[in-house]
């Protein structure tokens, strides 16, 4: 006899007690989680903590009697089985989660910053108290990635990740590309539309993506990645001219969060703008869409893409985690063993200066004879071979913009070359240096 999906996900009330959930945070994600959980008969939302209890909320079915402005009433409530932490940041989220675990509650969180900075301590604390912490929503919003890595992809040796993990920066770069507009103008537009915060630093300087790739690489590589070892560079220096040059060369510019682990267990984890080949899947991930590409054996290459943020996409991941826990409660004294932290060894970091990359250089130089040759010589003196060098016209002030694409070379050699360019009398400025996808 076939089982009805609703019978599986929503057991009838007389088949067992309801799973009691407390939600901390009723912002965009929290609202989506509340609305979605209301569809499940076996889940009861006991309490919701908010910052401003007097704020008007037009949410259908929301009972004001379950709202509190004291989140500790949730984590200390003996009735509650699962706490969903949806406020973000380190404080007070860390203490709230630890208190909830100490009081016998399982945790679902979307808090990428907390996991990146204190994940090790949090997971160890949860294991000590035999509780689980699930965090599907903390990495790629609505894209399922953590549970697939932990379950269906568990037999793979994943060695490389390339991902677009921040919708704000991807929106800005896509609009710059489509409109030929400046970073400043597109950022202002994104802020007006609500895609970018009033203070966009966390997104545009790569912090958000760095938090996410730290945890994602830890899970995929089965070794701990320390946030302080993740190289980070934002998109604020990207110009409309760089977008045009990239297109002419067969690339798109994206903010890429990447991670690679070598056979010796050394990890190169970073976030920075990258020229991505138009033949690559990631080149065509536009606007607020996110994507994660994994490479490993035996799967080969796989890319998952979808909405990386927003009310219902993120709620989808949070609710999925809540249902995963609720389905196991009462069935075992040690639930969801595959989803628990199973790695205690730190990956040895590879410093960015010791990595090999290809580079895009935009150089402004005096329009003198021999300048291109001079650029070539500086590169050659620093063990850098050139794949292409193109002069992109002469300005009214008799300066020329020159675009260079290098072959594979060492980062420290490129930094030495940049120093030489700065000291050269014929070179006015290196407008930009962007790494190129290999």
In tens, the pLDDT along 80-122 reads 999 999 999 999 999 999 999 999 999 999 999 999 999 999 9
- Say what the pLDDT of residue 30 is: 96
User: What is d(CA 178, CA 344) in angstroms, rounded to the nearest whole number?
Assistant: 45
pLDDT band, very low/low/confident/very high, at 78 (cuts 50, 70, 90) = very high
Q: What is the pLDDT of residues 283-341, one digit of tens each?
A: 999 999 999 999 999 999 999 999 988 899 999 999 999 999 999 999 999 999 999 98
- Say what the pLDDT of residue 16 is: 65
Question: Annotated catalytic, 98?
Answer: no
Cα 415 to Cα 352, 430, 433, 438: the distances in Å are 11, 12, 10, 19
Candidates 212, 223, 252, 358; catalytic one:
212
Neighbours of 328 (CB within 10 A): 16
Mean pLDDT, range 31-51, rounded to an integer: 97
User: What is d(CA 212, CA 215) in angstroms, rounded to the nearest whole number?
Assistant: 6
Q: List the domain boundaries for the chain.
A: 5-141+312-339, 146-307, 352-436
Mean pLDDT, range 192-210, rounded to an integer: 94
Q: Does domain 5-141+312-339 have CATH number 3.10.200.10?
A: no
- Say what the pLDDT of residue 392 is: 79
* pLDDT above 90 (res 10): no
Q: CATH fold of 352-436, please? A: Alpha-Beta Plaits (3.30.70)
Mean pLDDT, range 402-411, rounded to an integer: 97
pLDDT band, very low/low/confident/very high, at 15 (cuts 50, 70, 90) = low
Q: What is the pLDDT of residues 335-382, one digit of tens each?
A: 999 999 888 899 999 999 999 999 999 999 999 888 999 999 999 999
* pLDDT above 80 (res 28): yes
* pLDDT above 60 (res 13): no
- Say what the pLDDT of residue 398 is: 87
Q: Average model confidence (pLDDT) for the chain?
A: 94
Q: CATH fold of 146-307, please? A: Dihydrodipicolinate Reductase; domain 2 (3.30.360)
């Amino acid at each position: 006899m076939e089982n009805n999906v609703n019978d599986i996900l929503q057991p009838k009330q007389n088949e067992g007690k309801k799973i009691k959930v407390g939600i901390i945070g009723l912002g965009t994600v929290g609202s989506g989680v509340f609305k979605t959980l209301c569809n499940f008969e076996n889940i009861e939302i006991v309490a919701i903590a908010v910052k401003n209890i007097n704020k008007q909320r037009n949410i259908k079915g929301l009972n004001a009697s379950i709202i509190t402005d004291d989140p500790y009433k949730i984590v200390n409530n003996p009735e509650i089985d699962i706490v969903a932490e949806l406020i973000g940041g380190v404080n007070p989220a860390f203490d709230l989660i630890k208190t909830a675990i100490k009081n016998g509650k399982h945790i679902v969180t979307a808090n990428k910053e907390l996991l990146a900075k204190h994940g090790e301590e949090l997971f160890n604390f949860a294991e000590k108290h035999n509780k689980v912490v699930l965090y599907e929503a903390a990495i790629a919003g609505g894209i399922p990635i953590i549970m697939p890595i932990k379950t269906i992809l568990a037999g793979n040796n994943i060695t490389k990740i390339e991902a677009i993990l921040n919708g704000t920066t991807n929106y800005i770069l896509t609009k710059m590309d489509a409109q030929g507009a400046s970073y400043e103008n597109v950022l202002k537009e994104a802020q007006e539309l609500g895609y970018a915060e009033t203070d966009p630093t966390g997104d545009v300087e790569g912090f958000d993506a760095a938090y996410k790739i730290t945890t994602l690489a830890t899970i995929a590589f089965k070794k701990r990645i320390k946030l302080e070892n993740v190289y980070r560079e934002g998109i604020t220096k990207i110009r409309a001219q760089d977008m045009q040059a990239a297109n002419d060369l067969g690339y798109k510019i994206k903010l890429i969060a990447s991670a690679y682990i070598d056979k010796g267990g050394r990890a190169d984890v970073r976030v920075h703008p990258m020229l991505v080949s138009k033949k690559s899947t990631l080149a065509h991930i536009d606007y607020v869409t996110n994507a994660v590409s994994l490479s490993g054996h035996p799967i080969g290459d796989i890319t998952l893409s979808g909405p990386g943020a927003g009310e219902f996409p993120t709620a989808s991941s949070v609710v999925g985690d809540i249902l995963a826990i609720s389905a196991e409660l009462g069935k075992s004294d040690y639930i969801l063993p595959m989803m628990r932290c199973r790695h205690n060894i730190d990956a040895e970091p590879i410093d960015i200066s010791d990595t090999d990359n290809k580079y895009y250089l935009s150089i402004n130089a005096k329009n003198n004879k021999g300048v291109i040759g001079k650029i070539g010589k500086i590169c050659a003196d620093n063990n850098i071979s050139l794949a292409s060098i193109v002069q992109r016209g002469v300005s009214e002030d008799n300066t020329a913009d020159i675009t260079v694409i290098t072959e594979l070379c060492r980062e420290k050699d490129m930094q030495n070359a940049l120093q030489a360019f700065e000291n050269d009398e014929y070179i006015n400025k290196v407008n930009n240096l962007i790494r190129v996808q290999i």
